Chains A and B, each alone.
Chain A
Amino acid sequence: MTAIDPTAHLTAEQIEELGRELDAIRDAVIASRGEKDAAYIRKVISAQRKLELVSRGVLLFSFFPPAWLLGTAGLSVAKIMDNMEIGHNVLHGQWDWMRDPKIHSTTWEWDHVSPSEQWKHSHNELHHTYTNVIGKDNDLGYGIMRVDEDQTWHPFHLGQPLWNFINACFFEYGIAAYDLELGKNLPKRRRKNPEFRARAKAVGRKIRKQVLKDYVIHPLLSGPSFLTTLAATFTANLVRNIWTHSVIMCGHFPEGVQVFERRSIKGETRGQWYLRQMMGSANISGSRAMHFMTGNLSHQIEHHLFPDLPSNRYAEVAVKVRALFEKYELEYVTGPLPKQVVSAWHKVFRLSLPNKKPKVKTPDCEQELVAA
């Protein structure tokens, strides 16, 4: 899809060799998984639960503004931890090797309106297999946005900055709708499909439970703090949604990330699959706290190469992966969060308009060609 293919300099043998080197990195982590890793995820889960309990406790007194602030902040962080470092990663099967039925991809349910089961299908299976393949990976623009020059422009796209903003605020609902493939399934004929109806029901049930908990039960428990607790929970959900949306946008949208055509993945070898993951993902640089709060999705490139390795190991893997990028002269797209968010949003705005005719060679334009 790119005007200039940034992987054109690699021979087929080199790509397979790259694949073998990545396999070796993976094997090394698998061989060294152990007690420390298990202790890590247990600690995170227990910390998340304690933080949530305490925050909800504090919110019982949320009529008192400092308590509101503290409780809301705590609950926001707890929800982010639940979704990112814990939920996302457990549902990837990253911790299945522990054989602890309580921390297992087949049993985990998260604080989110999309039921785990459906999310695993659309995310683990579709997005991770067909990463950045236009028409196959719905994460590209979530079906409401145009994210690549080669997609045909439609006047509908003029509004995409707004759609994207609304999606960010209600991201978990966006994801649920997306997992249901609402756009495709809403037309009359499809709506009746029993399989779709069962899934829609499951989402309905989950939404009902989540809403009841956050917006009815906990406010009621707070008695005189009913309204303030309600506002606090709403805020926490909003913060969590915007945060996760931002992090996720940084994973595949920033300038410099490649998208691929359907036919390009026909008969893809393991090496080519790896290469597509490398070119289709982008990282966020930052502190350890930053990595933690993004659920280590700041190591998106590593995550896409090895979606089932425990998240706490991505940082060490990143060093080796980056060395491979250098060795094979590929661009490792990374940057601090604000820069990546701006870059992704910039793209959303830019592609809301029809393509500009490429002008002749200014340095700026050159870069854009590579990036698109």
Chain B
Amino acid sequence: MVTTPLVPSDYLDLVSPLRAGADLRGRIEAVHPETGDAATVVIRPGRSWRGHTAGQYVRIGVDVDGVRLWRAYSITSPTNRQDGRVTITVKAIPDGRVSNHLVRRAKPGTLVQLDQPTGDFVLPLVTPTKVLYLTAGSGITPVMGMLRDIEFDDVVMVHCAPRPQDVIFRSELHDLVADKKLRLTEVHTDTDGILDIARLDELVPDWAERETWACGPAGLLDAAEGHWAEHGVQERLHTERFRPSIVVAGDGGEVTFSATGMTVDADGATPLLDIGEEAGVLMPSGCRMGICFGCVTPLKAGAVRDLRTGEITEAEPGVLIQTCVSAAAGPCDIER
């Protein structure tokens, strides 16, 4: 009542954005380069952070060129880090707006939005005696969170990266090897070629007896799942797939109105507002020319094209589109 129409937190956020009870945010405190295209971002999370389990990931909302974009990254810091900071390790992927921003441009002091950590690619409560970590590229990041968190008596890691200098956390891994805490096989795919899963028998002869956590590109994980299943030990394999949402922007496509359960074909030139109305979906509308914002609707999946500018908007959580000036750019899902 005192602050209507705002709420008290709108004012408190001005002074203390990380306080308990605030929307969950974090402050970037440092960015350490790991390899040529990967960096570790140190974040102090707000007081409402509930903590994570090794192997989990966190969704983080970063403002890139003024636009808030959300991505998920594995947490690479151990759960018992004394200063309460958490780290994510990000590899810049070509054309990745968020990853390139975090690796190359993010500055200490910047606020980012956070979700609570989540994911079930985690270690079990009962400690296995023998462990295998099978990783490739940035698939090493959740595993690094595990490695740093709990020590096992017998840990083997097989990690693939194009070249030695592309191995994220390489010196730390080698330190672990020197301390006899880890046995490590690096596969350098530029010279050795892609890892043939059958080679595991030779690299880690007792692989089938080990509790295995695997993370990397789909090809590797598919091969691993096949291999483990073939030997009837699939319950020992835990995999984590990073799903980069690859949207191919085309011209028109199948439009799903998920709230109504309607699916129709749309061309690339008809506004989604018209498409919806024709299909009998109740669409909010106003000016029908892109000026009143009375037709904004969540875009749940796929991509749309702005009929005025040609600009493509891809689905992300929280993305709203003006249906009166947007057309399908490939299959998409409109929440109506």
Contact = CB atoms under 8 A, between A and B. Distances in A.
Interface of A: 23, 26-27, 30, 33-39, 46, 49-50, 53, 92-93, 96-102, 104-106, 109-111, 120-121, 124-125, 128-129, 206, 209-210, 212-213, 217-218, 221, 273, 307-308
A122 to B, nearest CB: 10
A67 B249 CA distance: 60
28 contacts: A23-B308, A33-B65, A34-B66, A37-B66, A38-B66, A39-B66, A49-B10, A49-B11, A92-B293, A93-B293, A99-B318, A100-B68, A101-B318, A104-B320, A105-B296, A106-B293, A111-B5, A125-B286, A125-B287, A129-B286, A129-B289, A129-B291, A206-B5, A212-B1, A212-B4, A273-B289, A307-B291, A308-B291
B319 A99 contact: yes
Given A98-B68, A105-B293, A128-B291, A49 B14 contact: yes
A97 B1 CA distance: 30
B294 interface: yes
Given A209-B4, A213-B2, A120 B292 contact: yes
Interface residues of B, number: 31
Nearest to A216: B1
A38 B63 CA distance: 9
A64 to B, nearest CB: 22
B69 interface: yes
A49 B5 CA distance: 12
A129 B66 contact: no
Interface string B43-81: 000000000000000000001011111000000000000
B235 interface: no
A218 to B, nearest CB: 7
B293 A120 contact: yes
Which of A37, A105, A125, A213 is packed against the most chain B CB atoms within 10 Å? A125
Contacts of A121: 286, 294
Interface of B: 1-6, 10-11, 14, 63, 65-69, 286-287, 289-294, 296, 308-309, 311, 316, 318-320
Top 5 A-B residue pairs of the complex, sorted by shortest distance between their CB atoms? A38-B66, A93-B293, A125-B286, A124-B292, A109-B5
A5 B289 CA distance: 26
Name A's interface SS: helix
Given A98-B63, A105-B296, A308-B290, A110 B5 contact: yes
Contacts of A34: 65-66
Which of A98, A99, A102, A210 is packed against the most chain B CB atoms within 10 Å? A99
Contacts of B5: 109-111, 206, 209-210
Contacts of B6: 49, 109
Nearest to B70: A99
A213 B1 contact: yes
A46 B318 CA distance: 23
Contacts of A209: 1, 4-5
Nearest to A110: B5
Given A35-B66, A49-B10, A128 B292 contact: yes
Contacts of A124: 286-287, 291-294
Given A38-B66, A93-B293, A27 B309 contact: yes
Contacts of A23: 308
A164 B99 CA distance: 56
A102 B17 CA distance: 13
Contacts of A218: 2
A125 B294 contact: yes
Contact of A96 (B289, B294, B320): B320
Contacts of B296: 93, 96, 105-106
A340 B95 CA distance: 50
A307 B292 CA distance: 8
Contacts of A213: 1-4
B320 A128 contact: no
B304 to A, nearest CB: 14
Nearest to B66: A38
Given A109-B6, A110-B5, A217-B1, 16 more contacts: A23-B308, A27-B308, A33-B66, A38-B66, A50-B14, A98-B68, A99-B316, A99-B319, A105-B293, A106-B296, A106-B320, A120-B292, A120-B294, A209-B1, A213-B1, A213-B4
Contacts of A27: 308-309
B175 to A, nearest CB: 39
A308 B325 CA distance: 13
A28 to B, nearest CB: 10
A124 B311 CA distance: 23
B33 to A, nearest CB: 23
B24 to A, nearest CB: 13
B67 A97 contact: yes
A217 B2 contact: yes
A38 B11 CA distance: 19
Contacts of A53: 11
Contacts of B318: 99, 101
B52 to A, nearest CB: 24
A98 B67 contact: yes
A273 to B, nearest CB: 7
Contacts of B10: 49, 102
Contacts of A99: 67-69, 316, 318-319
Nearest to B298: A106
A223 to B, nearest CB: 15
B245 to A, nearest CB: 16
Nearest to B293: A93
Contacts of B292: 120, 124-125, 128-129
Contacts of A109: 5-6
A352 B69 CA distance: 54
A49 B8 CA distance: 11
Contacts of A49: 6, 10-11, 14
B274 to A, nearest CB: 17
Contacts of A110: 5
Nearest to A310: B66
B11 to A, nearest CB: 6
Contacts of B316: 99
B73 to A, nearest CB: 19
A179 to B, nearest CB: 14
Nearest to B3: A213
A204 to B, nearest CB: 14
